[in-house]
Amino acid sequence: MKTNKYSELAAIPEIYREDMENPVIINHNFDFSITPETIEAELEQLIEQQTEASENKGLFTIKSINEWIEQAKNRPIPKMLFGQLWFENELCILFSDTNLGKSCLAVQIGNSISKGKAVNGFAFESAQQPVLYFDFELSDKQFEARYSDNFTNHYRFDNNFSRVEINPNSEPTEMNFQTYLNESLERTISDTGAKVVIIDNLTYLRSGTETAKDALPLMKHLKTLKTKYNLSILVLAHTPKRDLSKPITRNDLQGSKMLINFCDSSFAIGESFTDRHLRYIKQIKQRNCKLLYDADNVGVCEITKSSNFLQFEFINFGTEKEHLKELNDKDKEQRKQEAAELKSQNIPNREIARRLGVSEGAIRKWFKST
């Protein structure tokens, strides 16, 4: 019977060869299922591993600009979640003074995303999807009051929309509260698989955000979560009491500028001095597009409650200047007196300017004229 060389080799279990003083056993149990395709796949894997090794430099990854662009081309284009104010995969900060409706607007945005329907006046491009709303502000009863008609005829939210609050019976055993909070936050995101997260509010995540030392770890943690789980995060934050005659700027965000520097986008709610029922929405920072809702094009809204849903009702676009307080001579004189009083306490001009919401140059001019 005619045999081929492969059958002969397969019949020999092993060959002994003398190599100096140590015998070597060569095993000939060959795998004859190897094909050109498997060899090519193996080579590609080896090349990929070698490329990764050359690109990874400890904390950093290095590629040519063209390679980065090629990689980015394979990622989906971010879609609008709340007009040009908040896009997919952004860490966004919404801030305002107390009692101007931050939580109300945040719930309205979350409701919009969970139902796949736009908030009137602001485009929505994404798909209907689950939303996690971490509520560190209201009790469940306070929340119910906002979305019912005197605790009856309750508004029906989509089951995609989940509210999360602190469990008062759960306490960390072997870690501090801050670490326990961070781990619980990540676990909730991981277990639910939600890609849209709203946190109300920033103060609960970190009690100290006034300095870069406090703010930097917080922003790094949120950005890590965003990247790791491909999240879109909206975080609510406060502003200190501000001068209603001055436009809203990034300097009005309570605490360190580090918060604004490290977020992808930010917008704020201002109170109209002409009508206390009106609010205006102003864009502060955006990386995915040019600023659309700036001082010359703020979104003017009114907080209304039609039956069982508290919401921002869009009215039109206008200028921020229309809604700012106009200072009369008495107001200006009072402000100068406040500046003089602070100066007598040896407070630096820069701090006086920050407290009064004016430029440091204006402070120097006031003191020079007196």
Same domain, 99 and 247: yes
Same domain, 162 and 53: no
Q: Looking at residue 209, which CATH number applies to its domain? A: 3.40.50.300
Same domain, 91 and 223: yes
Same domain, 65 and 148: no
Domain enclosing residue 266, as ranges: 80-323
The rounded distance, in Å, linking the Cα atoms of 227 and 91 is: 10
pLDDT band at 41 (very low <50, low <70, confident <90, very high): confident
Same domain, 112 and 176: yes
Same domain, 319 and 362: no
Same domain, 71 and 137: no
Where is the domain boundary, 32, 52, 75? 75
How many domains in the chain? 3
Query: Do 362 and 350 form a contact (C-beta atoms < 8 A)?
Result: no
For the residues of 45-70, what is the DSSP string, one character each? HHHHHHHHHHHEETTEE---HHHHHH
pLDDT, tens only, 299-341: 999 999 989 999 999 999 999 999 998 877 787 788 888 888 8
Rounded mean pLDDT, 102-126: 97
What's the pTM value of the predicted model, to 2 decimals?
A: 0.78
Where is the domain boundary, 75, 92, 119? 75
Same domain, 201 and 334: no
pLDDT, tens only, 190-224: 999 999 999 998 877 765 545 556 667 878 889 99
Per DSSP, what are the bridge partners of residue 24?
A: 17
Rounded mean pLDDT, 62-80: 93
Token digits of residue 37: 């395709």
Same domain, 224 and 262: yes
What is the phi/psi pair of residue 36, to 5°? -55, -35
Where is the domain boundary, 75, 93, 128? 75
Same domain, 351 and 313: no
Same domain, 203 and 139: yes
Same domain, 240 and 272: yes
The 8-class DSSP code of residue 297 comes to S
DSSP H helices in the chain: 5-11, 36-55, 65-73, 102-115, 140-146, 177-192, 202-205, 212-229, 258-262, 329-344, 349-356, 360-369
The answer to whether residue 149 scores a pLDDT higher than 80 is yes
